[in-house]
Amino acid sequence: MDRLNFDIVHQFWAIAKSYWSSDEKWQARGLLLGVVVFLLAYTGLSVLLNNKRGVLISALSAQDESRFWQTVWIFLGVLIIYAPLLAGYTYLRDRLSLQWRQWLTHHFVDHYFANRAYYTLHIIDTEIDNPDQRIAEDVRSFTQESLALLLVLVESVLSIVAFSSVLWGISRPLVFFLVLYALIGTLATTVVFGKPLVRLNFEQLKKEANLRFSLVRVRENAEAIAFYRGEEREAQQVKHRFLDVFENVKRLLLWELNLNVLTNAYEFIPFILPALVVAPTIFAGAMEVGKVSEAQGAFIRVFFSLNVVVARFQELTTFGAGINRLYTFAQFLQQTAQQATAEKPQIQTVESDRLAIEHLTLQTPNHQRTLIEDLSVELPPQAGLLVMGPSGCGKSSLLRAIAGLWSAGQGTIHRPATDQIMFLPQRPYMVLGTLRDQVLYPNTHLDVDDETLQQVLAQVNLAGLAERFGGFDAEYDWADVLSLGEQQRLTFARLLLNKPSYAILDEATSALDVSNEAQLYQQLQTLGSTFLSVGHRATLTHYHRMLLELAQDKTWSVKHLDAEEVFHAASREISPHSS
């Protein structure tokens, strides 16, 4: 258990220190200082209010009307100051939590997208599940709970100091008993319940995230599931994941039941104990009756301050599980950054004014399988290279290597600067936003007038698209409202607008008919870009000057296609067509 506590504290500090030593540290520390000042002020007033409550009871017992009303007015005056202090403390605490969450979210998002860590996480086998939940939910919980628990500890120390002096003046044996009682309860709770509850809460966060992810998958693939009539299979999978949640919650509830039995009995005893200790003094007439109430209030405040671990144990175990999830995620992102700069055999990418591959041996990211061996080919300017071969021979993998996504292997790839090359992946990507954003992506900041956008859409046979959806500023879930063929034509429109010197197309016309395919490649040739295509369709040979054929046995061959034959074949494919 000590080892577990040490690990959680170490993980917590590893995550937290980045913010408190960042560029925003002085703003954070200023807010924290304000929170502590408010906390000190209202804790001091709490001691005064507790004292006046005892005086009220003593005045009533002695039937001292003058003392009673004097105490009432003092109590109300203190309360007028106390209430806004407590409200201000809560506001500053929550504001600091919000600032911390903003910084930490940006920190994780920056590292998630740096060195394509999000892509590495997607293609390798790792225990890092549901990064979306870790960034959105676990960061929020971490910042809120961290600050809340920190301030609870500070408040507990202040309460112990302030109210112990009150308690010491009333009954010294109470102070000694209180410390021993709280220490035994804390040790017993952490030793018996600590490790099981942390483990179960960690599993709970993971299983809840898996359930939510399965439901998101259904929403994103609704049409495909409907075509396959896969409702029963998907329903069973969702139910199975919910069953995992259900069974884990049952185990969690059983442990919480045992914990609550202990804590409920443990926490109610202090309510009667002060009265039992001071009763003989009251009966002897050596102490006012109001001292019982004052002693009880001070005892309970000190007890719950000492007992903070037991009282918030369930929250602490959930918090510990969340810390572990964030820490392992942060470790993965850090390792990805280190691997990006590590010295190991890998494909070298050289920025150049040409696209060429020299002695490339391409492997899968885990280095377990070789796809292509000793490939050398250069793409002549303003010409087309078509890559063909059976499924699984490494066609799309070659494009990933050219894009810099895969670096396992050896050899050299000469390629132009990032802003001079554009990739059209096999699955069109529709961004969240307007129709204008779809056409301009990834350079959505470009200032392009509607007339130019309309002209480009007409070039890819989508002339009526803007009118159909109410203009270029209309927002829809474009992956749902556009057919796959329309999405592929829209990605070609991005090429025409961005005008890259080089274009890499991974089966970018697979959902189109021959006429639409011909029109798009004709527009691409008119653009003057040098392009490389991957595909299976034989008609693609009409638009390329070179053919690279890959085989399953890692071998390859390059063929030069007749330029005049390519031109006439492409011309024959173009004919009137509709959308």
List all residues 6 or more positions away from 489 whose beta carbon is below 8 Å from its beta carbon.
460, 461, 462, 512, 516, 520
Distance CA 480, CA 28 (A): 43
Phi/psi of residue 422, nearest 5 degrees? -135, 135
List all residues 6 or more positions away from 320 whose beta carbon is below 8 Å from its beta carbon.
4, 8, 198, 201, 202
pLDDT attached to residue 313: 62
Mean pLDDT of the chain: 80
Distance CA 348, CA 109 (A): 27
pLDDT attached to residue 455: 92
Distance CA 546, CA 560 (A): 5
Q: For 198-216, what is each residue's pLDDT tens digit? A: 778 778 878 888 888 888 8
- Judge whether 529 and 382 are in contact, CB under 8 Å: yes
Residue 306 pLDDT exceeds 70 = no
Residue 407 pLDDT exceeds 60 = yes
- Judge whether 415 and 352 are in contact, CB under 8 Å: yes
pLDDT attached to residue 566: 46
Residue 240 pLDDT exceeds 80 = yes
**Mean pLDDT, to the nearest integer, of 361-382?**
86
Residue 544 pLDDT exceeds 70 = yes
**Omega of the bond prior to 131 within 30 degrees of 0, cis?**
no
Distance CA 469, CA 483 (A): 14
Q: Give 3 or 431, the one with higher predicted confidence.
A: 431
pLDDT attached to residue 382: 80
Domains and CATH numbers, the chain: 2-341 (1.20.1560.10), 348-573 (3.40.50.300)
Q: Which two structure tokens, joined as six digits, stand for 434?
A: 């307007």
Does the pTM exceed 0.75? no
pLDDT attached to residue 458: 92
Q: Residue 576: pLDDT band by 50, 70, 90 thresholds?
A: very low
Residue 78 pLDDT exceeds 60 = yes
**Mean pLDDT, to the nearest integer, of 385-390?**
91
Distance CA 68, CA 80 (A): 19
Q: For 314-357, what is each residue's pLDDT tens digit? A: 666 777 777 888 888 888 888 776 665 555 568 888 888 889 99
Q: For 547-572, what is each residue's pLDDT tens digit? A: 999 998 889 999 987 654 444 444 44
Q: Residue 300: pLDDT band by 50, 70, 90 thresholds?
A: low
Residue 21 pLDDT exceeds 80 = yes
In one-letter notation, the amino acid at residue 267 is E
**Of 22-36, 103-117, 301-315, 321-335, which range is least confident?**
301-315
Distance CA 517, CA 544 (A): 13
